[in-house]
Structure 1
Amino acid sequence: MFAALTGLGLSTAAGLNAYIPLLVVGILANFTDRVKLPDGYAWLSNWGVLAVLAVLLVAEMVLDKIPAVDSVNDMIQTAVRPASGGVVFSATAAAAELDKSTWMAENPWLGWLIGIVVALAVHAMKAAARPVVNASTAGVGAPVVSTVEDAGSLGMSLIAIFLPLLVIAALALLGLVVWWGVRKVRRFRAARKPGG
């Protein structure tokens, strides 16, 4: 169960920022015993790969804080974030250890699929909310929301690895934030309608 929660938390983090969970997993695999990469994922702890991921992270962090550019970045990330979610779910051995299931161990594609779906769902919510944030704040909210998303991705990555039981609480909190955001969007749209 812990491995599944770790994979779920990392995939959620990848939906917010593709590179943070990859970097966290790769760095922790190098410096701790907390992350043991399964066969075929040793590349994720390679310092050259980590350097490339760090450069991509810096680029995304800058682009994601600029109104309008952030929406273009989200379109590009529609492929990257789900792929990252699939990698981190599988790389943490969650797929092989999920409930000690031999079926999961024999079908590693399912870990990839779960990670992709979770990251894609989180990414879709993020990408849908950002234009509303930009429009309702005249672009001032973009860097604030982006910083919160980056911090959320880092926090969720660390929780997923070190305190996987808290992933449930973190996902519940994320659900509340999404619910609150949907209500705000509906109010914003209602206020913009003629006669509203």
Structure 2
Amino acid sequence: MFAALTGLGLSTAAGLNAYIPLLVVGVLANFTDRIKLPDGYEWLSNWGVLAVIAVLLVAEFVLDKIPAVDSVNDMIQTAVRPASGGVVFSATSAAAELDHSSWLTDNPWISWVVGILVALAVHALKSVARPVVNVTTAGVGGPVVSTAEDAGSLGVSLVAIFLPLLVIVIVVAMAVFAWWVFRVVRRRKRRRAAQPPG
């Protein structure tokens, strides 16, 4: 159970920012025994790889704060964030040792698929919400929301590793937020459709 919650939390964080959970997992694998990377994932703790991830994180951090550019960045990240979600879910499957379960390690493809789908769902929510924020705040809210997403990605990554049971609360909160965003978007579409042309 802990392995699945850790993977779920990290792939959720990857949907917000692809690079933060990768960096957290790689750094913690180097400095703590909390993350034990399975065979084939040792590259994630390589300092050269972590340096590249850090550079990509800085670029993402800057680009995601610029209205209009953030939407282009989100299009590019449609491939990157789900891939990151698959990697971090799979790379942390060694957490199965904590709850003495071998199910995830015996079925590694499930970790990849679940990680990709979770990160993609979070990314889709972010991609739908961001244009609404930009339009309703004349672009001023974009950088604020982006900073909150980055902080959320870091927070969720750390919670997933150190307090995996709290991931359940986070996922429920995100589901409620997703429901609210879809209601707002649907309401806006109805209002536009009801307005007379011209």
Q: Could you say which TM-score interval applies, normalised by the shorter chain?
A: over 0.9
Aligned-pair distance for 1:101?
A: 5.8
CA RMSD of aligned residues (A): 1.9
Aligned-pair distance for 1:134?
A: 1.0
In the alignment, does 2:82 pair up with 1:82? yes
CA distance in 2, matches of 1:162, 1:85: 18
- Give the corresponding residue for 2:43: 43
CA distance in 2, matches of 1:71, 1:97: 40
CA distance in 1, matches of 2:102, 2:29: 25
Gaps of 5+ in 2: none
SS in structure 2 of the partner of residue 66 of structure 1: coil
CA distance in 2, matches of 1:128, 1:183: 12
- Give the corresponding residue for 1:55: 55
Aligned-pair distance for 1:93?
A: 1.4
Please list, as runs of the form range in 1=range in 2, the aligned pairs for 1:44-193 lying within 5 A after superposition. 44-93=44-93, 104-193=104-193
CA distance in 2, matches of 1:56, 1:102: 34
CA distance in 2, matches of 1:110, 1:97: 17
Aligned-pair distance for 1:95?
A: 8.8
1:79-104: CA deviations, max 9, x gaps? Answer: 00000000000000169669866564
CA distance in 2, matches of 1:3, 1:111: 10
1:20-60: CA deviations, max 9, x gaps? Answer: 00000000001111111111111101111111000000100
In the alignment, does 2:20 pair up with 1:11? no
CA distance in 1, matches of 2:19, 2:141: 22
CA distance in 2, matches of 1:137, 1:110: 40
Aligned-pair distance for 1:189?
A: 3.4
Identity score, percent: 77
Count of residues paired in the alignment: 195
8 Å contact kept, 2:86–2:111 = yes
| Amino acid across the alignment from 2:86 | G
CA distance in 2, matches of 1:56, 1:154: 15
Aligned-pair distance for 1:137?
A: 1.1
1:114-163: CA deviations, max 9, x gaps? Answer: 10011011111111111111111111111011011111111110000000
Aligned-pair distance for 1:188?
A: 3.4
CA distance 1:42–1:96, shift in 2 (3 Å): same
SS in structure 1 of the partner of residue 164 of structure 2: coil
Q: Give the structure-2-normalised TM-score.
A: 0.91
Aligned-pair distance for 1:78?
A: 0.5
- Give the corresponding residue for 2:26: 26
CA distance 1:165–1:96, shift in 2 (3 Å): closer
| Amino acid across the alignment from 1:30 | N
Gaps of 5+ in 1: none
